[in-house]
Amino acid sequence: MVVTALLAAGIGVGLTAPAQAIIGGRDATTAYSFMASVQTRDGEHFCGGSLIDKSWVLTAAHCVVRDQPTDLQVRIGSLSSTEGGTLSTIEQIIVHPEYQTEPNKHDIAVLRLTTPVGGQPVQLATERPGIDDPARLIGWGCTSPAAWCSAPPVLQEIDTTVHKAEDCNTGGGRVDPALEVCTGNPENKSGAHKGDSGGPALVRSGDSWRLIGAFSWIPNFTFGSYDGYGVYTDVAVHRGWVREVTGLPV
């Protein structure tokens, strides 16, 4: 069964509650200045995102396609989704015009912040990652595939690798290798899961990170089990669209 990351939630209030998840990760020891918690206006975290400019956050389309800017806020640059960092409201939501809920293609959106923030943005990757390239995933939320779980108080991180598209074709969906990136740790069944929606997949570039993907969907979702694979919207492929709608020189 193909389930988008948003629908695979189950933190605290039940199966329909949006959430974040990194299974098999570790507590992040340093804050990522660009990491964003996308939240309701009462502070409930439900998706991840990445600060790509002092006024723009990139996330998954399925996180925000049904929302109005006044519904949302973001907390940026903290190890906690509930305190610290910088809190900003949203002025505008722009969803990719070709986003399709099924089969979830072009699952990308950008949020214009009401007020620019001071955190250091992450740069977008200019090239697609190669097979077996190392990548890092970060996010908050459930640390097991159980239907009911609690979000960890500290941002989670895990190192993984980029896989062939067909490796993520373990369920009913099919990865589009022209638009998406398959990641996974099948050996120890760890990685992004259960609504780690919009959160970043990163590659190292010298002393900094580059954004290669925004978490989109889980290939083979079943409560209580997880094969370690996750599908990310390819950010490098969508750079032209981001540049067009934001005016940023990405």
Low-confidence ranges of the chain (pLDDT < 50): 1-3, 5-21
Burial, 87: exposed, middle or buried (Cβ in 10 Å; 0-12, 13-18, 19+)? middle
pLDDT digits (tens, 9 = 90+) for 79-105: 999 999 999 999 999 999 999 777 789
Cα 41 to Cα 133: distance, rounded to the nearest angstrom: 37
The fold adopted by the segment(s) 124-236 is Thrombin, subunit H (2.40.10)
For domain 32-121+238-246, say whether CATH 3.30.2290.10 is its number. Answer: no
Which pTM does this prediction carry? 0.89
Q: How many Å apart are CA 209 and CA 120, to the nearest integer?
A: 11
Q: Where, residue-wise, is CATH 2.40.10.10 in the chain?
A: 32-121+238-246, 124-236
Sign of CA dihedral 77, 81, 86, 88: positive
Catalytic positions:
62, 107, 197
**Element containing residue 139 per DSSP (H, E):** strand 134-139
Q: What are the two backbone dihedrals, phi and then psi, of residue 85, each rounded to the nearest 5 degrees?
A: 65, -155
**Residues 175, 165, 59, 37: what is their CA dihedral angle, to the nearest 10 degrees?**
120
